[in-house]
Structure formats: structure tokens, C-alpha cells
Structure 1
Amino acid sequence: MLKLKHLVICSAILSAISIPLFAQKGQLVFPRTPGMVSYTYRASFAKDPAATLDTIKALGITDIEFSNLFGKTAAELRKLLDDRGMKCSSFGVSYPDALNKTAEVGQNAKTLGASFVRVAWVPHEGAFTLAMADKTVSDFNQIGKKLNDDFGLSFCYHNHGYEFEKHENGTLFDYIVQKTDPKYVNFEMDILWTFFPGQDPAALLKKYPKRFKLMHLKDLRKGVEGNMSGGTPVTNDVALGTGQLDLPAILTAALKTDIEHFYIEDESPSYATQVPQTIAYLKNLKH
């Protein structure tokens, strides 16, 4: 009798446990609303920033990563955002500006309301080398410290593919991650520019779960072969889910990291039709 009672109790416990586990099937892979990189709408922003923000907000997106001020002051852009209940969480600038105009960059980022400053390209000729990586590490530590100490901002580097040149048992990207101070330097993963040079974005996220704070969501046209150049025709950017990247695996891994902001970036001339496709894909992607 006692054994039977125990079996009934155990059965009830197992049933209770199995219900939420079963319910996980069919859940959304990415139950968040992404932001938008201004570069997607660069031609439109250059003509009319206010109307462009209206277009983006109509898509249900209110978080912007600006990579240009588009002829406006930071204060003017901030007012346009505030008037629409939108925000800028990250401000992208060039490497030379981040290094040589750090105070101006920091002030603009604060005015915009951003928490992050991002650099997306290290100027270089030919293949990226260890010497270039060493200079990058030194400069990034300097930039990040000043932005943190003087403005309370977090500095991130957006990978672009060329940093994955082989080095010892890893790559020069590994070298940069390991040599920079995590208090002052972190990273924005561009998943296309991780995949293009032959890396696995999900595996890299699992390798450095604390170092990535931002992410660019984009996909690469099927049939396109990658390389170490950091460049491909913009027409090779396609709507999420129509290209080569394993987005369910990448997004599942990303949500287990310290990434705070996800942004759609579509560099192609077809962004007006592709961005709504991308948004629909993210909304409907299920386990």
C-alpha cells in the first residue's frame, strides 16, 4: 500500500514537471523586439530623418543604433527621437574619431541618450596582421577607458571578418578579445561578418558569452562564398531566414549571453521589402 502511494505521488510529480517542458515546444525562439541600425535606411535618413524615424516606428521598432548624424546635431536627432517615444541605445563612429575625438564622440553619445559607442572598421591595407591587432588592442583600451571614466559609456567593437586571420591556436579576433580589458572594451557581433570568413557565430557566442553586448542581425545570400576581405556586394544581404545562416542556433545561443541590444541591419537596396520580411521571420520563428 505504501509503495503504491509513493508511485502515485511520483507520478503526479513527473506529470507536473512534464507540463512546462512540453509547453516549451512551439515557443518563440526570439521573443523580443529588435532595434534598427540607421545604416539600413542611410539614403532615407540623409534626405529626411524625421520621416525615416516615422517609417521605422510604423514597423514597431523604437530602438535605433545611429552610425551617422546625417547632417544634424546630436541634440536635433535626440529631439526627433523624444518626440516619437524612440531611443538611441548605441552610437557608431569611425576608428579615427573614436581615437582622436573621444570627448566629442562621448558627448554626442550622451546627448543622443546612448549607452554604447561602437566602432565597426579598423583601417588597414591588405591582410589584417598581428601588429595591427596589437595597435587595435592598445587604442581600444585607451578609447574604452576614457569613454567609461569620463562619460559612463560602454565601448564595443563590431567585427567585420578580416580579424579572423589565424593566429596560434585561434584567430586574431580571439587575440583582441583576450588582450582588451573587459571593463573598457566589449563587442558587437555582426553575424554575417562572423559567418562570411568561415566562423560559427553560435560557437563564438558560447566561447565569449560575457564579451558580446550588441548584435547585428542579417543574412547572406545562398550560394555566396565568403573570404577574409570584410567586404561583399550589398545585394548579398537578404531577409532573415532566406540566406545561409543558421538563425535559430545563433539566436538561441545569443539569448544566453550578455547581449543587451539586437539590431536589424540590411545594407541592400531592397531593404524596404526585406526589412518587413525579416521582422515577420523573427516574430514567427519557433522551436
Structure 2
Amino acid sequence: MTYPISYQLYSSRNFPPLFAQFPELKAFGYDAIEPWLPAYEADPKAFRTALDDAGLKCHCFHMPLKGLVEEPQRFIDIALTMGATIMIPPYVAAEERGTTADYWRKLGAQLSEGAEQAAEHGLKVAWHNHDFEFFALADGSRPIDHIFGGGGDTVWFEIDCGWIARAGADPAAELKRFAERIIAIQMKDMAPKGTTTEDGWAATGDGIIDWEKFVPLFRETKAEHIVTEHDNPADWRRFARRSIEHIKALGL
């Protein structure tokens, strides 16, 4: 099978106007846009119109955890307007992160509560990882395991392989561990250690991650689509084109 491929719009945040990129991304072969806040916040309807005009979809979008907890209906309405089916809180600021298992289990429970409300509208909630979820706490346990332990079966996972690699963990092991929970796969690539240009990231296929090895593992997950992302590309077009070409060459 082949997967719909989304472009994480955060990759292009330094190259406005963003809507003007949509026809080019469609021409490169992308099926969808995965937006981040605030790209869609000012006018979700206009965002949807720009997607429709370019022939693109929005399968999922990133949103604040605080938004899911304090304004769930607002973001549910945004999801429905944009045509998204998956709401994804992706981050906790460093100054807000707890250091105990209880903190991370509570975060998982907040995701679950949001997922319960989202489900009433046919939507799902997923967590997106960075590196900090894979750093051991004082007791040796990991935040990522507590998040999903506290969240239960209703909380899905958009796995970011690049951040897992940067944390020193093994993406292959995590793909296996969370196979039944993974709903989207972000194929973020990492440049060789010590690289400082582009914040140490690379276009998918130009970095150190052996994606071919992961393809069979991808197919064992519940993933519905693939996502490309680069946190700070010097050239968004080169990143976007190179990444999708590599993904398609892998048969994904």
C-alpha cells in the first residue's frame, strides 16, 4: 500500500506567504498539509479554501495542549472546518514540564479527556513527540510511556522518528513498541552528529536515518499517512521535493 503524504507547514514558517506554496506542494506530489498554530488560527475557513483550491487535504493539525484542555470545542470546530480528523498536541514548553511520572500520567489523562469529546464529532486525538519524552526520569521510567499509560487506548501517536533518534533512542524499537497506537509517521531526518547548519536536520533521505530498514515496521503500525518535516530548512522547496521523492522511492 501507499500512504497519503502530508507536508508539515511549520517547515515553511520562515518563507511566507504560506498559501502561495500550496499549488507547488501539490505539484511536488503532496496530498495534504499538516498545519501548526498559528497558520490556521486567524481564519480556518480561508485556510480550508486555500487547500481546496490547490487540491490538498488536511488530515491532521497541530494545536496547543492547553487548547485541548481549556477550549476543546473551539479546536473541534477548527478541525471540522479544515476537514481534519486528527487533533495533535505536540509539545510542552520546558518551563512547564514536570519531572515525575504522575505529571506525565496526568498529561495523558488530559489527552484522553479531550479524545472523549473529540470522538463525539468523529475526531481522534494523538500526541506528537519531541526528544524530551524519551529521556529517563529520576526513577528510570520514561515520560512517553506514562503519557500513553495515563491516556489509555483512546490516545493515538504521531511518531516523529527524527526526534527519537536525536534523543539517542531507537526509532525501530519505538515503532514496534507503539505499533497499535501509531496513526501517523513523521519521517524527519537528522544530519550527522556535529552538523550545525539547518539546526542539524536534513531532508528525508539526506540524513543518517536508514528509512529503508523502517519500511516493514511502518506497515505493521496503524498509520494512516506519512508526514515530512524539517525544523529549519534553508530552502523549503528543496526540502519538500527531495523528501517526497525519497519517500515515494521507498514505495510508501
For 1:269-280, list aligned pairs within 5 A: 269-280=234-245
Deviation at 1:79, TM superposition (A): 1.4
Report the equivalent of 1:125.
95
Q: Is the 8 A contact 1:219 1:245 kept in 2?
A: yes
Q: Which residue of 2 aligns with 1:261?
A: 225
* Distance in 2 (alpha carbons) for counterparts of 1:61 and 1:155: 23
Corresponding position of 2:10: 39
* Alignment deviations for residues 111-134 of structure 1 (CA, whole Å, 9 cap, x no partner): 100000001102342875224313
Residue 37 of structure 2 corresponds to which residue in structure 1?
68
Q: Following the alignment from structure 2 to structure 1, what is the Cα–Cα distance between the partners of residues 14 and 236?
A: 11
Distance in 2 of aligned mates of 1:85 and 1:218? 24
CA distance 1:175–1:38, change in 2 (3 Å): same
User: What is residue 25 of structure 1 aligned with on the other side?
Assistant: none
Aligned to 1:111: 81
- For 1:215 and 1:224, the matched residues in 2 are separated by 25
What is the 5 A alignment of 1:128-143? Answer: 128-130=98-100, 131-143=102-114
Alpha carbons of 1:127 and 1:110: their partners in 2 closer, same or farther (altered >3 Å)? Answer: closer
Superposed CA RMSD in Å reads 2.3
| 2:230 partner letter | D
Tell whether the 8 Å contact from 2:108 to 2:149 is kept in structure 1 after alignment.
no
Distance 2:127 2:6 in 1: 18
For 1:224 and 1:242, the matched residues in 2 are separated by 15
CA contact (8 A) 1:106 1:147 kept: yes
The answer to whether the 8 A contact 2:107-2:150 is kept is no
Residue of structure 1 in register with 2:214 after alignment: 250
Instruction: Report the counterpart of residue 27 of structure 1 in structure 2.
Output: none
Correspondence 1:284 to 2:249: yes
Check conservation: 2:106, 2:150, Cα contact below 8 A: no
How big is each residue's C-alpha offset from its partner over 1:117-165, in whole Å with a ceiling of 9 and x where there is no partner? 001102342875224313312221222212122x221001101111113
Q: Which amino acid aligns with 1:135?
A: K
Asked if 2 retains the 8 angstrom alpha-carbon contact of 1:241 and 1:278, the reply is yes
Distance between the aligned counterparts of 1:123 and 1:111, measured in 2?
Answer: 28
Residues 202 and 128 (structure 1), Cα distance of their counterparts in 2 relative to 1, 3 Å cut: farther
Match of 1:190 among 132, 149, 160: 160
Aligned pair 1:56/2:25, yes or no? yes
CA distance in 2, matches of 1:175, 1:233: 34
Change (3 A) 1:126 1:244: farther
Gaps in structure 2 of 5+ consecutive residues: none
Which residue, 133, 144, 166 being the options, matches 2:136?
166
Contact kept? 1:213, 1:258, Cα under 8 Å: yes
Change (3 A) 1:206 1:196: same
Q: Specify the code of the residue in structure 1 equivalent to 2:246.
A: Y
- Deviation string 1:52-103 (CA, Å, 9 cap, x unpaired) is 1111111111211111353641111111222232111102111212211111
Percent same amino acid among aligned pairs?
24
**1:178 counterpart = 2:149:** yes
- Contact kept, 8 Å, 1:128 with 1:165, in 2: the verdict is no
Amino acid of the residue matched to residue 93 of structure 1? M
Classify 1:85/1:163 alpha carbon distance in 2 versus 1 (closer, same or farther; 3 Å): same
Structure number with greater Rg is 1
Distance 2:129 2:219 in 1: 19
Tell me which amino acid in the other structure corresponds to 1:43. N
| 1-structure distance, mates of 2:111, 2:245 | 37
CA distance in 1, matches of 2:3, 2:78: 28
How many residues matched? Answer: 247
Partners of 2:193 and 2:18 lie apart in 1 by 36
TM-score (normalizing by structure 1): 0.78
